Structure 1
Amino acid sequence: MVKPFSIAIHGGAGAFQRKQMKKEIELSIKKDLESSVLAGHSILKKSGDALDAAVEAVRILEDSPNFNAGRGSVFNNKEIIEMDASVMHGKKMTAGAIAGVRHIKNPIMLARDVMKKSKHVLLVGEGAEEFAFEHNHQYIKQDYFYTTIQYNRLIYMKKRDLFELSDPEYLNNKYGTVGAVALDQQGNLASATSTGGITNKRYGRVSDSALIGSGTVAENGNVAVSTTGIGEIFIRKMVASDVAARMRYLEEDIITASESVIQGDLKSIGGEGGLIAIDAYGNICFSMNTSGMYRASIDINGNLIIKIYSDD
């Protein structure tokens, strides 16, 4: 008998406005979300590992310029792209993460290598890239990550000394992160998260997506979580771990725990964003306190959903 398995992904939460979202962009985003979740689900269907499924789903999103991770990453205040990523496997709670890499096509795959091929959890900057090249990751020039829309956003924000986009021209912008959570047929939970950070961030800034417990958590028998939002507040609140702790110690279900954090504790200190989560039974939760979050999932019954807005 096939044991239950499921997967959920996100492409970032934010202030999405239906009236300002161009139809062709919306269709392109949904196509990428579908490709991502189907790829991850295919691995699970073949009795593959939850982490491999989550990483593959995130890798596909990193390869798309539609998302602020990998190819579509934002620029920092020195007009450089620096990327962060992390992974966690719930069986032994092993984890790997990288921060501030500039020349790695798929940061999520490097994070997995840190977990599997090093004695460490988090590597940063030049040290992370040196490790990458030692383990056959290709050097990628910054030109690969350049997109006109992200550069224009940087110029707009630098002129106004901003970090978050609030002008009506940019109402469809999001807190850029991509992530995936999965439950495999062996009962393993896993989470993977990747980001380019925030536009016009200070050189050297590290996001919650690189930090286990803030952006990424997986614990067999409990839950896997990947978050997206204002990184500094998500770090202070330890959002992913908070959800896991509420489920473990308060015995809350996945929806109650997620909503308590995102709609309650986080919102009370000005935190905006969302999360995706899967519990040990394959139940999926999407929680957000923004007007939307790019998201998709395939549940234990094989039902596919792809959504953008909070009221979808």
Structure 2
Amino acid sequence: MNVLRPLCAALLLFATVPAPAAEAPGTLLVIHGGAGLQREGTSEADEAALRAAITLALRRGHAELAAGKPALDAVTAAITVLEDDPHFNAGKGAVFTHDGRNELDASLMDGATRMAGAVAGVHDVKNPILLAREVMQHSPHVMMAGAGAEAFARERGVEQVDPSYFRTERRWQQLQRALKEDAAGQAHAEPEVAKHFGTVGALALDGEGHLAAGTSTGGMTDKRYGRIGDSPIIGAGTYANDRCAVSGTGWGEFYIRVSAAHEICARMAYLDETPVQAGEAVINREIPALGGDGGAIVLSADGQVAMPFNTEGMARGWIGADGVPHVALYSDEALGLPGEAAPAP
């Protein structure tokens, strides 16, 4: 009897049995409310408001994912909540320019298609992230700025408001202090990173395994000459493809110079780095080496999350398929990430 024949048959049968599919990571939403948060000058009431806003944004975005909606819907829903909250430097809480105006920037990218939309320097658009989505989905362009973007908002029926809507006393007083220092030829007492604090961003992984990223900001206090930072620039402040999504927050000039968001995704693709490794390399080594600072959130298609930052605090949070929000503000707060064991109380 040929003993090899049944052995070969067994091997052939084994070879035809498909390998078990990798378990899907489930839906995820990751949010930041800006690096540069400092305990000094931040009241307990402010901290509670920040935590509540991040939690609400997580819940709103999660509701979209739980309903089977795409990652883009979750990102825009979450960012809209933060744009409507005056505690963040985006939308309602935007900082003032040198000329006493509010100039708003935002961008959005769909990782599955690499479609993107962005707006810069708008003054009367209530939720710039929604206009960025209109640019992406209903125009042949990627970025629009100023009056042209506002005209497009009118055409598309995106809500516009009187510019006075964006005025908050806290931001106005920040500008007044900066103007006095300008007039006296003094260096600004407020740390550079604090001038950028409050930019908001969100990343989502939907039930189809698709990623999306978005970022929204009011820029920097006392900025001049129509300055634009990284937030509305695809590849600098926002980027998403089929395996990686990033939203940044920090000193925009440096994020632009290193194409920070795309650089993180490139390191993951070409060096096979994890989100933690790639985020650490770009945010905590490359940017500081040039003189900048800030933070970012990173999400991979297999559900890995990183939240690198090099300031005292960065408002941040995530929520998985179980619908439980996880929120932290400062660097010394334990915030377990998806797949990690819960931090000890």
TM-score, normalised to structure 2, is 0.86
Which residue of structure 2 lines up, in the alignment, with residue 193 of structure 1?
Answer: 215
Matches of 2:172 and 2:68 in 1, distance apart? 42
Note the alpha carbon deviations across 1:214-234, whole angstroms, 9 max, x for none: 0000111x2100000001111
Counterpart in the other structure of 1:89: 110
Instruction: Flag the 1:103–1:164 CA change in 2: closer, same or farther, 3 A.
Output: farther
Q: Name the SS for the 1:281 alignment partner.
A: coil
Opposite residue 10 of structure 1, the aligned amino acid is H
Match of 1:44, SS state, is helix
Residue 219 of structure 1 corresponds to which residue in structure 2? 241
1:276 is matched with which residue? 297
Cα deviation, residue 301, structure 1: 5.2
8 Å CA contact 1:16, 1:171 repeated in 2 = no
Measure, in 1, the Cα distance between the counterparts of 2:331 and 2:180. 31
1:64 aligns with 2:70: no
Query: Mapping of 1:24-173 within 5 angstroms?
Result: 24-161=45-182, 166-167=189-190
Contact 1:108 1:192 (8 Å CA) reproduced: yes
Is the Cα contact below 8 Å between 1:77 and 1:158 reproduced in 2? yes
- Look up the SS of the partner of 2:231 in the other structure: helix
Query: Is the CA contact 2:193–2:251 (under 8 Å) kept in the aligned structure 1?
Result: no
Counting only pairs closer than 5 Å after superposition, residues 294-309 of structure 1 correspond to structure 2 as: 294-299=315-320, 302-309=323-330
- Measure the CA separation in 2 of the matches of 1:164 and 1:61: 31
> Given that residues 25 and 302 in structure 2 are in contact (C-alpha distance below 8 angstroms), is that contact kept between their aligned partners in structure 1?
no
The answer as to whether partners of 1:85 and 1:195 remain within 8 angstroms in 2 is: yes
Shift of 1:116: 0.3
Measured after TM superposition, the shift of residue 277 of structure 1 is 1.1
Tell me the amino acid that sits aligned with residue 218 of structure 2.
G
Letter in 2 for 1:265: E
* Corresponding residue for residue 30 of structure 2: 8
Structure 1: 5+ residue runs without aligned partners?
none
Which secondary structure state, in structure 1, belongs to the residue aligned with residue 204 of structure 2? strand
In the aligned structure 2, how far is the partner of 1:165 from the partner of 1:109? 34
Q: How does 1:199-210 map to 2 (within 5 A)?
A: 199-210=221-232
Q: In 2, Cα distance between the equivalents of 1:12 and 1:163?
A: 26
Contact between 2:112 and 2:211, CA under 8 Å: does it hold in 1?
A: yes
Note the C-alpha offset of 1:311: 1.2
User: For 1:161-205, what per-residue CA distance to the aligned partner results, in whole angstroms no more than 9, with x for missing partners?
Assistant: 29996448x997653310000000001100010000000001411
Change (3 A) 1:28 1:75: same
- Verify the 8 A CA contact 2:181 2:188 in the aligned structure 1: no
Q: CA deviation at 1:302?
A: 4.4
Q: SS of the residue aligned with 1:32?
A: helix
Deviation at 1:105, TM superposition (A): 0.2
Equivalents in 2 of 1:136, 1:301: separation in Å? 35
Of structures 1 and 2, the one with the larger relative CO (CA 8 A, separation 6+) is 1
The runs of 5 or more residues in structure 2 that have no matched partner are 1-22, 334-345
Q: Secondary structure in 2 aligned to 1:97?
A: strand
Instruction: Answer whether contact 1:273 1:289 (CA < 8 A) is retained.
Output: yes
| SS of residue in 1 equivalent to 2:273 | coil
SS in 1 for 2:171: helix
Across the two proteins, how many residue pairs are aligned to each other?
A: 309
Q: Give the strand-richer structure, 1 or 2.
A: 1
Structure with larger Rg: 2
Give me the CA root mean square deviation: 2.0
Asked if structure 2 preserves the Cα contact closer than 8 Å seen for 1:33 and 1:295, the reply is yes
Q: Distance in 2 between matches of 1:142 and 1:164?
A: 29
Distance 1:167 1:297 in 2: 30
TM-score by length of 1: 0.94
Residues 167, 128 of structure 1: alpha-carbon distance in 2 compared, 3 angstrom cutoff: closer
Amino acid at match of 2:204: A
Measured at CA, do residues 22 and 171 of structure 1 come closer, stay the same or move farther in structure 2, by a change above 3 Å? Answer: farther
Q: Deviations over 1:98-126 (max 9, x none)?
A: 00000000000000000000000000001
2:62–2:323 CA contact under 8 A, matched in 1: no
